[in-house]
Structure 1
Amino acid sequence: MRPFEFHRAASIGEALDLLAQPGTHPLAGGTTIIDLMKLGVENPVALVDIGALPLGGIELTNDVLRIGALASNSAVAAERTVRSAFPAISEALLSGASGQIRNAASMAGNLLQRTRCAFFRSHDWPCNKRVAGSGCPAQEGANTHHAVLGTSEHCLAVNPSDVAVALLALDAVIAIRCHATAREVPLADFYRLPGITPHVETVMHPGELITHIDVPKSRLGPKSTYLKLRGRASYEFASASVAAAVFCETGLVAEVAVALGGLGTVPWRDREAEALLLGKPLTKETIAVFCRALLAPARPTEANRYKLDLASGAIHRALMRSAAC
Structure 2
Amino acid sequence: MRPFEYSRAGNVSEAGALAGRFIAGGTNLLDLMKLEVETPEKLVDITRLPLREIEETVDGGLRIGALVTNSDLAAEPRIRRDYEVLSRALLAGASGQLRNKATTGGNLLQRTRCSYFYETSQPCNKREPGSGCGAIGGFNRIHAILGTSEKCIATHPSDMAVAMRLLDAVVETLKADGSSREIPVGEFYRLPGETPQIESVLDQGELITAVRLPKPLQGEHRYRKVRDRASYAFALVSVAAVVRMDGGRIAEARLAFGGLAHMPWRDAAVEAALIGQAPSMALFDKAADILLAEAKGQGENDFKIPLARRTLKAVLADATKGA
Interval of TM-score (by shorter of Structure 1 and Structure 2): over 0.9
Is 1:310 the counterpart of 2:321? The answer is no
Correspondence list, 1:132-281, <5 A:
132-178=129-175, 179-220=177-218, 223-281=220-278
Structure 2 CA distance for aligned equivalents of residues 321 and 58 of structure 1? 31
Specify the alignment match of 1:13 in structure 2: 13
TM norm structure 2: 0.96
**Amino acid in the other structure paired with 2:169:** A
Structure 2 CA distance for aligned equivalents of residues 322 and 290 of structure 1? 15
Correspondence list, 1:98-117, <5 A:
98-117=95-114
SS at 2:115 equivalent: coil
Is 1:55 the counterpart of 2:41? The answer is no
- Report deviation, 1:322: 2.7
**Amino acid in the other structure paired with 2:319:** S
Structure 1 CA distance for aligned equivalents of residues 7 and 321 of structure 2? 50
Which of residues 15, 19, 26 is equivalent to 2:22? 26
Contact residue 10 and residue 49 of structure 2 kept, 8 A: yes
- Report deviation, 1:200: 0.2
**Amino acid in the other structure paired with 1:140:** G
Structure 2 CA distance for aligned equivalents of residues 151 and 292 of structure 1? 18
Q: Number of paired residues?
A: 320
Q: Deviations over 1:214-254 (max 9, x none)?
A: 1112334x622210000011110001000011111111111
Contact residue 83 and residue 216 of structure 2 kept, 8 A: no
Structure 1 CA distance for aligned equivalents of residues 234 and 147 of structure 2? 18
What is the RMSD of the two structures over their aligned residues, measured on CA atoms?
Answer: 1.2
Correspondence list, 1:52-131, <5 A:
52-62=48-58, 63-131=60-128
For structure 1, the residue ranges without an aligned partner over 5 or more in a row are none
Contact residue 170 and residue 182 of structure 2 kept, 8 A: yes
**Amino acid in the other structure paired with 1:99:** G
Between 236-245 and 8-17, the greater mean CA deviation after superposition: 8-17
Which of residues 24, 36, 43 is equivalent to 1:40? 36
Cα pair distance change 1:219/1:89, threshold 3 Å: closer
- Report deviation, 1:66: 1.1
TM norm structure 1: 0.96
Q: Deviations over 1:85-110 (max 9, x none)?
A: 11111111111011110000001101
Is 1:295 the counterpart of 2:286? The answer is no
Contact residue 72 and residue 104 of structure 1 kept, 8 A: yes
> Percent of counterpart pairs with the same letter?
48
Specify the alignment match of 2:4 in structure 1: 4
Cα pair distance change 1:186/1:127, threshold 3 Å: same
Q: Deviations over 1:18-71 (max 9, x none)?
A: 1xx2xx200100101110000001111110110010111112333111111100
Q: Which runs of 4+ in 1 moved over 4 A?
A: none
Structure 1 CA distance for aligned equivalents of residues 290 and 193 of structure 2? 22
